[in-house]
Chains A and B, each alone.
Chain A
């Protein structure tokens, strides 16, 4: 079992060809088996969308990759280093993997700037001035600079979610995991968040995105994985998966989506 750690060189070091490798991943909550043997490989700079009904295991998969959930069996390697096993410093691993949640989870008692600078200062030991400068740069890139001294409850859902993305980016991660980041938003606010994700993809960020936005997935993803019942049923480029899905379960799922008018 490898005890290697991810390289500490920062983003300049260049990515290994394979950013994420998952083998035989099993996860249970009590007697409920949520992930039943997931195998997945994500290349550097690749964008992969996970689709599937609620409860199919998309969120759990992302949380396992970020080590927020202990796994029952299997291996996860990030940037060429296995991160499941004894003696792994999960705080170190998480610096390389950002995750954004459906419910934003901003810190309500801190303004936007402190939300964004807390982790770089406290986890990376970045000087406060540098962290603030970096935060302002990110905020202005995503049109949030005028909100830096607002508290989260004064922001719209779309703004909060964009701040949450900026907060994750402030750690300069090499992989981003997005967990249904638009599901809690009012329809008119979805676009502004999707635009941010498109920009990240254009910048070459490796991303694993759980989403219900089928049009967006078709647009942005290099590959789309359809999950059902804790397994990856089908893994194909979007053009193929959305137009001529091979598996009967994928066909059934997409038919329901089309019937609901969401594709």
Chain B
């Protein structure tokens, strides 16, 4: 583990190690400690005017240094032209079929659609996998082994290889229906196969986080196993795993870009086509910006949920 600073300040009100109301200069805050605002460690300080001023100044200085390094680099002007040319960025964003390239701005919709479809399917498949692995019935033993093998396999194989295998393998089988889908569908199948293995482990952690006494309480009231699972265990389990679940979905959003290797015109692929047509990489910058616009709100939302959860737990603990 990382080394701890000596003697964290002790909050005089609670006696807990934590930020003292006035210790504004401290750069270290005990994890799980709470500033006077009653909130967890915050990105934007939260400690009065002087702290705000300090963080603004340090941010400006750091940014300025980075910009200067970038501008003074020997190859700076080429890089700026190749990656940040405003005209190329706009051209790739709106696209021009006559000149042979697609709109990155339009292609991102395919990423969004693949993400949404995959997300729903992953949530369902992963739950089924987790429930099978948590089951104790001897009848389900073969299924338990299968789901274990499944999870091990798809967590171990790189997503890119799964996409290739599904995207080129299924069409090659020349089966009716199965082999004649658009590439985006194969992409979604591959994403679902791979991600549900991860997400099932998240679910499993959530199921394990619900105390056994809750099961005893529910069963003792005459509730069946299924009813207990549905109304007592799952709601608590899901509540506990929302942050890691959202975390996985943030990376799922990005990984939809990998489906481009099959030839599906999603944002990354559209940018690639622009780059090889016009010989300018600004299209990739556009794609990156679009992905950021998608993922940052989800990331901030996750942070807020984690924060809210922690405050709720603190409130519960002091009762």
A contacts, CB < 8 Å to B: 63, 66, 68, 90-92, 94-95, 98-99, 101, 103, 105-109, 118-119, 122-124, 153-156, 167-168, 171
Closest 6 CB pairs of A and B: A105-B217, A119-B221, A153-B316, A123-B222, A94-B222, A95-B222
Whether A105 and B213, one on each chain, are in contact in the complex, defined by CB atoms closer than 8 angstroms, is yes
Whether B319 and A94, one on each chain, are in contact in the complex, defined by CB atoms closer than 8 angstroms, is no
Partner of A107, one of B216, B217, B222, B315: B217
Q: A63-B216, A118-B231, A168-B221 are in contact. List 10 more A-B contacts (CB 8 A).
A: A68-B216, A68-B219, A91-B224, A107-B217, A118-B223, A119-B223, A123-B221, A123-B224, A156-B319, A171-B221
**Bound state CA distance, A63 and B224, in angstroms?**
17
Please tell me if B214 contacts chain A, counting CB pairs below 8 Å: yes
Nearest-CB distance from B41 to chain A (Å)?
23
A168 partner residues in chain B, CB cutoff 8 A: 220-221
B contacts, CB < 8 Å to A: 213-214, 216-224, 227, 231-232, 235-236, 239, 315-316, 319
Nearest-CB distance from B116 to chain A (Å)?
27
A154 partner residues in chain B, CB cutoff 8 A: 319
Partner of A91, one of B222, B236, B239, B316: B222
Given the known inter-chain contacts A122-B227, A153-B319, please indicate yes or no for A94 contacting B217, CB distance below 8 A: no
For A168, give the chain B residue with the smallest CB separation.
Answer: B221
Nearest-CB distance from A11 to chain B (Å)?
15
SS of B interface (majority): helix
A92 partner residues in chain B, CB cutoff 8 A: 222
Whether B214 and A101, one on each chain, are in contact in the complex, defined by CB atoms closer than 8 angstroms, is no
For B239, give the chain A residue with the smallest CB separation.
Answer: A109
For A66, give the chain B residue with the smallest CB separation.
Answer: B220
Nearest-CB distance from B222 to chain A (Å)?
4
A106 partner residues in chain B, CB cutoff 8 A: 217
Question: Which one of A91, A95, A122, A155 has the highest number of Cβ atoms from chain B below 10 Å of its Cβ?
Answer: A122
Whether A107 and B219, one on each chain, are in contact in the complex, defined by CB atoms closer than 8 angstroms, is no
Whether A68 and B319, one on each chain, are in contact in the complex, defined by CB atoms closer than 8 angstroms, is no
B315 partner residues in chain A, CB cutoff 8 A: 153
For A118, give the chain B residue with the smallest CB separation.
Answer: B231
**Bound state CA distance, A122 and B232, in angstroms?**
12
List 26 contacting pairs A-B, 8 Å CB cutoff, sorted by A: A63-B216, A66-B220, A90-B219, A91-B222, A94-B219, A94-B220, A94-B221, A94-B222, A98-B220, A98-B221, A101-B213, A101-B216, A101-B217, A105-B214, A107-B236, A118-B221, A118-B231, A122-B227, A123-B224, A123-B227, A153-B315, A153-B319, A155-B319, A156-B319, A167-B221, A168-B220
**Bound state CA distance, A103 and B220, in angstroms?**
14
Whether B213 and A171, one on each chain, are in contact in the complex, defined by CB atoms closer than 8 angstroms, is no
For A156, give the chain B residue with the smallest CB separation.
Answer: B319
For B226, give the chain A residue with the smallest CB separation.
Answer: A122
For A177, give the chain B residue with the smallest CB separation.
Answer: B220
B316 partner residues in chain A, CB cutoff 8 A: 153
For A91, give the chain B residue with the smallest CB separation.
Answer: B222
Nearest-CB distance from A114 to chain B (Å)?
9
**Bound state CA distance, A95 and B222, in angstroms?**
5
A91 partner residues in chain B, CB cutoff 8 A: 219, 222-224
**Bound state CA distance, A101 and B214, in angstroms?**
11
B217 partner residues in chain A, CB cutoff 8 A: 101, 105-107
B218 partner residues in chain A, CB cutoff 8 A: 107, 119
Question: Which one of B213, B217, B227, B236 has the highest number of Cβ atoms from chain A below 10 Å of its Cβ?
Answer: B217
B216 partner residues in chain A, CB cutoff 8 A: 63, 68, 101, 105
B236 partner residues in chain A, CB cutoff 8 A: 107-109
Given the known inter-chain contacts A105-B213, A123-B227, please indicate yes or no for A68 contacting B220, CB distance below 8 A: yes
**Bound state CA distance, A210 and B8, in angstroms?**
45
B220 partner residues in chain A, CB cutoff 8 A: 66, 68, 94, 98-99, 168
**Bound state CA distance, A118 and B231, in angstroms?**
8
For A154, give the chain B residue with the smallest CB separation.
Answer: B319
**Bound state CA distance, A98 and B316, in angstroms?**
28
